[in-house]
Amino acid sequence: MSDNRSITEIEFTDFTLFSDITIPFARHINIISGETSVGKTNIMKALYSYGKTINEVNDLHDPISVERISEMIASKFLGVFRPDDRKIGRLVKRNRGRGTAICKISFDKDHDIKLSFTNLAVKNIKLEGYQTTENWPRFVYIPAKEIISSTENFSALYEKYHIAFEETYYDLSKLLLLPTRKGPLNSNQKN
């Protein structure tokens, strides 16, 4: 068993389609199923947006402020969800008046992260509970659309032109272009 953190529970309040939902997670494999348009993809995209950003922060190997991490998470949410007008506040569930979306992610080591933003927010996310960790799993999101066969050219197109793809496709194409690593396997890898 690895020493990586694992997600134990997520809670969304007024986030996209969810008024209030709590989902417990098992340690290794979780299956999210349901009818069309109930929010399965939104759950995966929210977890991916947070986790991938933390992967990027850890790859920097330099101290970084919580404010900068909040900006990076907001940028990832905007790239992954592509809300109207590129405003993060568009991800708040539509209600009368002002609203606030809350995404809370609980981890196995008594650690909770809370992201929140109002429906008026453009690209500001409030981040609470963030702690640096070295044992963070690598987050990969594999979209339902076929992208793997187009990987070779996709990254260059995405970097140079405005094309109508979520950032998850770009992240996956960069990952698939990497060669395998040299050297011995670390303790988190299988033979």
Lowest mean pLDDT among 57-66, 97-106, 176-185: 176-185
DSSP readout, 26-70? -SS------STTSSHHHHHHHHHHHHHHHHHHHHH-S---HHHHH
Q: Predicted confidence band at 3 (pLDDT cuts at 50, 70, 90)?
A: low
* Whether pLDDT at 11 is above 90: yes
Q: CATH no. for residue 38?
A: 3.40.50
Please tell me whether residues 148 and 161 are part of one structural domain: yes
* Whether pLDDT at 170 is above 90: no
Q: Which amino acid is present at 134?
A: E
Looking at the domain assignment, is residue 191 inside a domain? no
Looking at the domain assignment, is residue 85 inside a domain? yes
Cα distance between residue 189 and residue 191, in whole Å: 7
Task: State the pLDDT at residue 187.
Answer: 58
Looking at the domain assignment, is residue 105 inside a domain? yes
Please tell me whether residues 87 and 67 are part of one structural domain: yes
Please tell me whether residues 131 and 146 are part of one structural domain: no
Q: Predicted confidence band at 185 (pLDDT cuts at 50, 70, 90)?
A: low
Mean pLDDT taken over the chain = 86
Please tell me whether residues 66 and 129 are part of one structural domain: yes
Helical H runs in 82-125?
none
Please tell me whether residues 99 and 154 are part of one structural domain: no
Looking at the domain assignment, is residue 190 inside a domain? no
Q: Predicted confidence band at 173 (pLDDT cuts at 50, 70, 90)?
A: confident
Q: Predicted confidence band at 191 (pLDDT cuts at 50, 70, 90)?
A: very low
Please tell me whether residues 29 and 90 are part of one structural domain: yes
What is the average per-residue pLDDT within 83-112?
A: 91
Cα distance between residue 33 and residue 60, in whole Å: 35
Q: What is the pTM of this model?
A: 0.77
DSSP readout, 123-162? S--EEES----S--PPP----SS--GGGHHHHHHHHHHS-
What is the domain extent for residue 124? 7-137
Please tell me whether residues 129 and 179 are part of one structural domain: no
